[in-house]
Amino acid sequence: MSLTVPNVFNVNGKVALVTGGGRGLGKSIAEGFLAAGAAKVYIASRDAEALEATAKELSPEGKCIAIPANLATVEGVKALADEIKAREGKLHILVNNSGAAWGGPLTGFPEKGWDKVFDLNVKTPFYLTGELVDLMDAAGTHEDPARLINIGSIAGEVCSTLGAYPYGLSKGAVHQFTQMMALELAPKNITSNAIAPGRFPSKMTEYVMNDKERYDAEVEGIPLKRWGQDEDIAGTALFLAGPSGAYITGAIIPVDGGARLR
Question: What are the chain's domains?
Answer: 8-93+111-197+239-261 (3.40.50.720)
Residue 6: per-residue pLDDT? 79
| CA dihedral over 8, 92, 177, 32, signed as positive or negative | positive
Mean pLDDT computed over every residue of the chain: 95
Rg (CA), the chain: 18
Residue 109: per-residue pLDDT? 95
The pLDDT tens digits of the residues spanning 47-101 come to: 999 999 999 999 999 999 999 999 999 999 999 999 999 999 999 999 999 999 9
Residue 41: per-residue pLDDT? 98
Q: How confident is the model at residue 211 (pLDDT cuts 50, 70, 90)?
A: confident
Tell me how far apart the alpha carbons of residues 210 and 84 are, in angstroms, rounded to a whole number: 37
Give the residue numbers annotated as catalytic, written as ranges: 167
Is-above-0.85 flag for pTM?
A: yes
Please compute the mean of the pLDDT values over residues 228-249 and round it to a whole number. 97
Element (H, E) at 51: helix 48-58
SS3 content of the chain, % helix, strand, coil (to 5): 50, 15, 35
Tell me how far apart the alpha carbons of residues 22 and 209 are, in angstroms, rounded to a whole number: 20
Residue 161: per-residue pLDDT? 87
